[in-house]
Amino acid sequence: MEHVLPERQLKELQKAILDFMHTQGYAESLEVFARESGNDGFVADSKDRHHNLLAKKWTSVIRLQKKIMELETKLSKLQDDVRTGAVATRRGKPAEWLPRPPAQQTLAQHRAPITSVRFHPQYMVLATASEDMTVKIWDSESGDFERTLKGHTKSVQDMAFDAKGSVLVTCSADLTLRVWDVSDEYKCVRTLHGHDHCVSAVCFIGADKIASASRDKTVKIWELATGYCVKTLSGHSDWVRGLGVSTDSRMLCTASNDQSVRLWDLASGECKGDLRGHDNVVEVAKFAPVASHAFLRRLAGLPPVAVAKQNGSDGTSPDEPATSQFIISGSRDKTLRLWDCASLQLLHTFVGHDDWVRDFVVHPSGKTLLSVSDDKTMRVWDLITGRCAKTIEASEHFTTCIDFSSVNPLVATGSVDTTVQLWACR
């Protein structure tokens, strides 16, 4: 008889069935099945990866069936909307939709404040990190909880998916970074040691390197494949809280308790700029995405790129894409600031929050910026005028983090109240 399953998968299934029989106390059936399947001598072990595997797979099948039914219902409704013309009632282009209250869903599984939220770059998956030492994985469309990643021994401070979404990296107050294989059920495949204090932020540099920022005042660059630290960037005089990498992976920006934002050349490891202007701790700094550059140039009163290149005033060579042209930072001084990487000058200050600015994300359209703050709000900023266009009450406590899905029009925010809110954009 030809098996439908490959030999390796068949053996996996047989061992899972044997473990289930042992768990249920079917001793005689276990003995017979073990002999007939060629697994004589099978010993059940609660630490073995086959333990409870059958029950887990069965639960997953039920969850998938439920999801398929929900999707079929949504598809049917959308088809009805298309036939009746109801879809046309949505305002603006889909690429420009913004989050609207109330929150579509509230995710409540964590037992301590939320520190980071990250959408998967290709699938409808959301990862949430917390001071409860765990990372939780959710279906971002249905809001269903999927799994918990355990391993860190103190608060998980930040995390990042690689561009393909095949790897998730987390960092923690336990001084380590952990690398999780998304394709292998989020198995932890590597732990990186090297920092001397709390690791507060992490990001990918291309596909093969990781950058981490720490309270030990340094930034470390790691090889993903080996886990080796290949470079340490020193210069800040206090805790490095945030970092961001340019689209071309050539530059890095960092935010620190020393109230500065620094610009680094990753090839040489040299600090190319020390941006001063904030009056308190700088919580977050990121490079503005290329989609926003035209709007930010208008905001700052700079000439369009074509004119600037012709005059040689954009800080780049004619053939070089200006992927690291602008940096945006958020601070405990309640402001966000826009910086020019070429001149190292402050271009604009976004004023409106009533408490610490904790995180922000630029809308995929490049026209708006969404920020969150300890004033419990999410604010939408028009990047052409620099003004706050909308204020949304985001949580009942300090709002700590935000991310925008690249797969479906959703925004996620996390709060000290231990919940994550999902906001539909329309």
- Give residue 129's pLDDT: 98
In this predicted structure, the answer to whether residue 309 has a pLDDT above a threshold of 70 is no
Q: Which of 30-34, 82-86, 323-327 has the lowest mean pLDDT?
A: 82-86
Q: How many residues does the chain have?
A: 426
In this predicted structure, the answer to whether residue 324 has a pLDDT above a threshold of 90 is no
Task: Tell me 1's DSSP state.
Answer: -
- Give residue 87's pLDDT: 47
Which phi and psi (to 5°) does residue 318 adopt? -55, -30
Per the prediction, the chain carries an average pLDDT of 91
Task: Tell me 52's DSSP state.
Answer: T
pTM to 2 decimals?
A: 0.79
Determine contact, residues 255/283, Cβ cutoff 8 Å: yes
Per-residue confidence band for 319, with pLDDT thresholds at 50, 70 and 90: very low
- Give residue 85's pLDDT: 54
Give pLDDT tens digits for 18-56: 999 988 999 899 889 999 998 888 888 887 888 888 888
Higher pLDDT, 300 or 80: 300
Q: End-to-end CA distance of the chain: give it in Å, rounded.
A: 55
Per-residue confidence band for 90, with pLDDT thresholds at 50, 70 and 90: very low
> 401: part of which helix (H) or strand (E)?
strand 399-404
State how far the Cα of 167 lies from the Cα of 78, in Å rounded to an integer.
Answer: 33
> 381: part of which helix (H) or strand (E)?
strand 377-382
Q: Which of 72-86, 140-154, 329-343 has the lowest mean pLDDT?
A: 72-86
In this predicted structure, the answer to whether residue 15 has a pLDDT above a threshold of 90 is no
State how far the Cα of 225 lies from the Cα of 223, in Å rounded to an integer.
Answer: 6
Q: Which of 143-157, 219-233, 312-326 has the lowest mean pLDDT?
A: 312-326
Higher pLDDT, 417 or 57: 417
Across the range 138-158, mean pLDDT stands at: 96
Side-chain half-sphere exposure of 212, counting CA atoms within 13 A? 35
* Rama region for 150: left / alpha / beta (φ>0; ψ in -120 to 50; rest): beta
Give pLDDT tens digits for 331-358: 999 999 999 999 999 999 999 999 999 9
What's the one-letter identity of residue 354? D
Question: CA gyration radius for the chain?
Answer: 24
Give pLDDT tens digits for 228-269: 999 999 999 999 999 999 999 999 999 999 999 999 999 999
Give pLDDT tens digits for 407-425: 999 999 999 999 999 999 9
